[in-house]
Amino acid sequence: MTNVIFIIGPTAVGKTELGLLVAEALGNAEIISADSRQIYKFMDIGTAKPTPEELALIKHHFIDIKFPDEHYSAGKFGKEARERIRALQESGKRPIVVGGSGLYIRALVDGFFEKQIFDPSLKARLKEEMKQKGVHFLYRRLQQVDPDSAGKIHPNDGHRIVRALEVFELTGEPLSKFQKQVAHKADFNPLFFGITRERNELYEIIESRVDRMLKAGLVREVEELKARGYDEALNSMQTVGYREVFDYFRGTIDYDEMVALIKQHTRNYAKRQLTWFRKDQRVRWIHLHRNESAEKYTDEFLIWQEKQYCLNLP
């Protein structure tokens, strides 16, 4: 089996910078983005997409591939990313997977079965949303994303509506489809590099990045999405940063509350990402320190992946 480098970790930790450095060092590499939000067009600021300059430096895949009202799933990503990795390898390229969407990475490497499709934090968010906005708000979203399931569920059955949305938001498919599927594992050897920092330092970086996003025009970006007709009930609009701006537009929170909530929810998301990835014993962790560039770790990446390559020789 061939080796594929994975650079994973929480939001704002420095994955993009390190991915670009490693790709440049390899010389013939392209990046597979494993980010469930950067797939959407028109959502640039709030998803912290690589800049146009960074995208021009190294070719990226799975960025800006869908409109915000189009469905996409972890299962589909897993299948398409495996095919893309195979094609790149056959053409002599070195794919590097960079991202923090745990379910996308699991789907790509290990596949998954229906019983594995759950996310307690997502379910808690959906229940809180139902409490705040009403069961019919969630039912309307279910009608948009999964009309087959909506047709089988009573509009007042909050429990089943939440479960159907949980499955769809995680996978893009109805639950019944997964009950008939088997998991498809990758035909390569993943080399997982997890990037982490001290918690307080990471939180400071997150808060600074949120401030930069707002200064760069996050509110205007959401206004433009709304003007294009993208409804806040869409799965894409539930992304941290976007849903809080929609709440601000509706007048349920003021501007300062919006900023505080974006920062809080982003910190919570980073914590969930770390919890997810730390459960995987295959991850080799690299701890970045304050004011330290990821560049110093590039050689370590290359040496370790070469060592793994030699170990895998027949």
Q: Which residues pair with 189 in a beta bridge?
A: 3
Same domain as 146, residue 16: no
State which of 162, 179, 196 marks the end of a domain.
179
The verdict on 92 and 226 lying in the same domain is yes
Q: What are phi and psi of 154, to 5 degrees?
A: -70, 140
- Which residue range forms the structural domain that includes residue 59? 3-112+183-311
Do residues 9 and 269 make contact, with C-beta atoms less than 8 angstroms apart? no
The whole model's pTM is what?
A: 0.81
Give the residue from 179, 211, 230 where a domain finishes. Answer: 179
Say whether both 138 and 260 belong to one domain: no
Tens of pLDDT along 254-282? 999 999 999 999 999 999 999 999 999 99
pLDDT of residue 146: 83
pLDDT tens profile 119-157: 777 888 899 999 999 999 999 988 888 888 888 889 999
pLDDT range class, residue 181, cuts 50, 70, 90: low
* Shared-domain flag, residues 222 and 145: no
Q: CATH code at 170?
A: 1.10.20.140
SS3 10: coil
Q: Looking at the structure, do residues 66 and 155 belong to the same domain, yes or no?
A: no
User: Is there a single domain that holds both residue 27 and residue 106?
Assistant: yes
Query: What contacts 174, CB < 8 A, 6 or more positions away?
Result: 146, 148, 149, 164, 167, 168
Number of domains in the chain: 2
Measured distance CA(158)–CA(163) in Å, rounded: 9
Q: What is the CATH number of the domain that holds 93?
A: 3.40.50.300
Is residue 209 located within the same domain as residue 260?
A: yes
Q: Do 270 and 188 share a structural domain? A: yes
Q: What is the pLDDT of residue 109?
A: 94
Residue 108 sits in the same domain as residue 222: yes
- Do 65 and 208 have their domain in common? yes
pLDDT digits (tens, 9 = 90+) for 4-56: 999 999 999 999 999 999 999 988 999 999 999 999 999 999 999 999 999 99
Same-domain pairing of 97 and 205? yes
Q: Residue 182: which pLDDT band, with cuts at 50, 70 and 90?
A: low
> What 3-state class would DSSP assign to 70?
coil
Whether residues 229 and 103 share a domain: the answer is yes
